[in-house]
Structure 1
């Protein structure tokens, strides 16, 4: 029996999103509410604290992470509600994920309160420990993401298009998350300084080809002067929400026109296309190219990707199959 059915009335419709989010795993629920409260707190703190860290208002980074954690924990709880027969594993996944985010948000808030960078900061032993702990627990969160994907891979679900949307969302998110570790590697300038014996206070960077803290897009801070790995990281992480939404859309839009197999193919095409965008953004960043200033080659690859996905999707969607009853998608 799944955690959901042990805590909620079995007659509650499976489409009840809020019951799935808040009735699946209590640690994720606590993490969701804590991060939401901290987000509100960062707004208040930003009003009274005008300090800058790496060229940005000091409480912007905690604010962004609080938003991200709220979305992630809520979505993960929803995904775990579809896992049956593994209540202990679900508790471990939820608990370790919540613990990982707790360590991360505490580290970010502590460093913001001190007015120093939370990421890449190894200037003092304390700073290095904070950064190391955050990195370690991000890896724990990543492993729990993979564990959830494995459980859903093995889970039998009546609705194949929706099932594969959940699985692909988790897998692409895992790719997006691991891209964050690329930012922790020393830049060329940092390596050169280290070779001369210089002690660095910052090791790693978001930007490629330029220093962090330069001109960037409002709020997110993504560099407008050089490459930036954060867009690829961001888009990859939010596959967790967007690919399942794609599955819901495909089922509702094509349920009476396409067979289950063809709807599953549409979800797979969309997932592959989404992963292609993530990798394209990474490639653009590693070439020290600003997100808002793609060159002709980047635009050509993007056009090719859009064309391939469009042609493949159109070919599948035009193959009209037998009518499918609305009961076929009752699982979403």
Structure 2
């Protein structure tokens, strides 16, 4: 980790401290907002930023020479993320909803700023992704996992845009996490994802964390040979992409994540079978390099 991009490591450490402070908030502050403990949102966001920051701190360590604009872009991401967390925590202290809240002039201004930070985060992350993806900075299977991880992560971030267009059904609230039901209804433990309607937070979460899961998969199968590893990464990455698309489609149709209809269930089954076939079709034995051939001795 000594070579990881230090500003992002420090940012991740700060987010880890924020997560601990949020846990303390959960223990000493019994207020709730939309049916969930009020400090749960900053806890989830800070943990997500820890994973995001460490992932990019590692990715930016891969180029032997890091152009100056990459560092500048990383600092833009850090600044935008910190501003978003300040607003989220500030609204928690006020006992107000941070996302989609346009009930007062102040709340509307803060939500507009958050919207701008999200756009900046998406664009800056896209810049970093294009630079890293265009270069051969890792072995073939790991590079493939990195490219897919960055791309699917961007798709997961973009799913958040759909939340701003969802109908809240509440005056002064523009946008919603849930589809078909009001935010704040029955939800899953910890995540709070709706158990009675669709919830766009599920594909948003799944997509964003491809950035961690797919490279970790590639590292886990390192040593199985390039052909085997690439086949497994291809199958897993395409399956992961399909899962993000499927869960987004499911949420937009108002279905809870774990209560799909037969159409969604069938599509999931086809996806699982496709991934399994892709993995099983990989060679069972890693390829072995042929020993060097000694030159034939010709008698003098």
- In structure 2, do the counterparts of structure 1 residues 214 and 264 end up closer, same or farther at CA, with 3 Å as the change threshold? same
**Higher deviation after alignment, 307-316 or 214-223:** 307-316
Match for residue 221 of structure 1? 192
How far apart are the structure 2 equivalents of 1:72 and 1:158?
A: 20
Is the 2:149–2:213 Cα contact (8 Å) retained in structure 1? yes
**Higher deviation after alignment, 87-96 or 62-71:** 87-96
Structure 1 gap ranges (5+): 1-17, 191-199, 326-332
How far apart are the structure 1 equivalents of 2:283 and 2:197?
A: 40
Deviation at 1:154, TM superposition (A): 2.1
- Give a deviation string over 1:14-36, Cα, whole Å, max 9, x none: xxxx3244xx242x123112111
Aligned to 1:316, the other structure's residue is in SS state: coil
Q: Normalising by structure 1, what TM-score?
A: 0.83
Deviation at 1:322, TM superposition (A): 3.1
- In structure 2, do the counterparts of structure 1 residues 116 and 188 end up closer, same or farther at CA, with 3 Å as the change threshold? closer
Aligned to 2:282, the other structure's residue is in SS state: helix
Query: Quick one: which of 114, 135, 143 aligns to 1:134?
Result: 114
How far apart are the structure 2 equivalents of 1:132 and 1:324?
A: 58
Match for residue 329 of structure 1? none
Is the 1:166–1:244 Cα contact (8 Å) retained in structure 2? yes
Match for residue 247 of structure 1? 218
Deviation at 1:215, TM superposition (A): 0.3
Query: Quick one: which of 275, 279, 284 aligns to 2:245?
Result: 279
Aligned to 1:61, the other structure's residue is in SS state: helix
- In structure 2, do the counterparts of structure 1 residues 20 and 306 end up closer, same or farther at CA, with 3 Å as the change threshold? farther
Equivalent residues in 2 for 1:192-231, closer than 5 Å = 200-231=171-202
Is the 1:43–1:63 Cα contact (8 Å) retained in structure 2? yes
Aligned to 1:19, the other structure's residue is in SS state: coil
Match for residue 121 of structure 1? 101
Q: Normalising by structure 2, what TM-score?
A: 0.92
Query: Quick one: which of 274, 284, 287 aligns to 1:322?
Result: 287
> Does residue 237 of structure 1 match 2:208?
yes
Match for residue 263 of structure 1? 229
Deviation at 1:78, TM superposition (A): 0.7
Query: Quick one: which of 273, 277, 295 aligns to 1:307?
Result: 273
> Does residue 71 of structure 1 match 2:51?
yes
How far apart are the structure 1 equivalents of 2:231 and 2:142?
A: 11
